[in-house]
Amino acid sequence: MALKNSTDRGALERLLLSRLPRKEISTLVQSYTQPYRELMSYYRCAMMEVETKFNVLNEELSLQYDRNPIESIKTRLKSPESIAEKLQRRGFPLTVESIEENLNDIAGVRVICSFPSDIYQLADAFLKQDDITLLQRKDYIAEPKPNGYRSLHLIVETPIFLHDQKRMMRVEVQFRTISMDWWASLEHKIRYKKDLPELDHVNRELFECAQMSAQLDARMEKLQRLAETAAAEQHADSRRGERRSGPLTR
Ligand code: 0O2
């Protein structure tokens, strides 16, 4: 007999489950969810690998330039609801294999930098590493989205080393300045993906705020350059002064 609808199916599932001993139910659930949990764990490992790479770069560059180019790093694993929604929206099957095959942003690493130039320097240094393969690059800083969104997005593949195998995993890396992140986080709260009617004045003002944030980035970067140049000149002056006064005689 074919089941008429999901209510029938639900009732049947409940009946069957009520007759199974607790232990068997737990084994059953485990067997269904294990492959998904394993895959999510691999993505977590890939995020750890990528996060470590950025921490290493931050440490090294901070010695070289006397400041940290990275303000903070955030990692996130896409939620089961978002995964299901995205697969459905794109017409892909809801299976563990399909997640790995069709989605690039299950593992997300967001690198918040001080200045726009830090973003490109870090992205270049990261992509030069021989275990990182670039799959896709979207530069929304050079070409912001029509709503004003700015960020540099990379989809990369990186290996994770498990006890018995090496696995290649995809990770989405988003680079933003504090100002880009501030705008994107608030815009996300105000509008992004909400089924709102088109509110022209809200869109326009959000776009203006994005432009203000871009101007602030440019000004701050300019100030940083001026300060760096002034510090370098001062340092050179004091070295010249030291050389003129010659070695100390006793
Ligand atoms: P969440 O909740 O941040 O994970 P994709 O579906 O990712 O393959 P898409 O959407 O063209 O293809 O990718 P894109 O443009 O690279 O954007 C992916 C992510 O960038 C989004 O992830 C957001 O995090 C961020 N993003 C893109 N556009 C905007 C925007 O206009 N405003 C804000 N605030 N964030 C944006 P998710 O999965 O959509 O959401």
Query: What is the CA(233)–ligand 1 centre distance, in A?
Result: 43
Among 192, 205, 196, smallest CA distance to 151 is for 192
State pLDDT tens for residues 147-192. Answer: 999 999 999 999 999 999 999 999 999 999 999 999 999 999 987 6
Instruction: Note the pLDDT of residue 149.
Output: 97
Q: Whose CA is nearest to atom 35 of ligand 1?
A: 184
Q: Is the CB of 153 under 6 A from ligand 1?
A: yes
pTM for the model stands at 0.85
Length of the chain: 250
In this predicted structure, the answer to whether residue 248 has a pLDDT above a threshold of 60 is: no
Q: Is the CB of 188 under 6 A from ligand 1?
A: yes
Instruction: Note the pLDDT of residue 250.
Output: 46
State pLDDT tens for residues 23-59. Answer: 777 776 666 789 999 999 999 999 999 999 999 999 9
Query: What is the CA(172)–ligand 1 centre distance, in A?
Result: 10
Q: Is the CB of 106 under 6 A from ligand 1?
A: no
- Closest ligand 1 atom to residue 153 Cα is 16
Residue 200's pLDDT band, with cuts at 50, 70 and 90, is confident
Q: Is the CB of 147 under 6 A from ligand 1?
A: yes
- Closest ligand 1 atom to residue 188 Cα is 34
State pLDDT tens for residues 70-90. Answer: 999 999 999 999 999 999 999
Mean pLDDT computed over every residue of the chain? 89
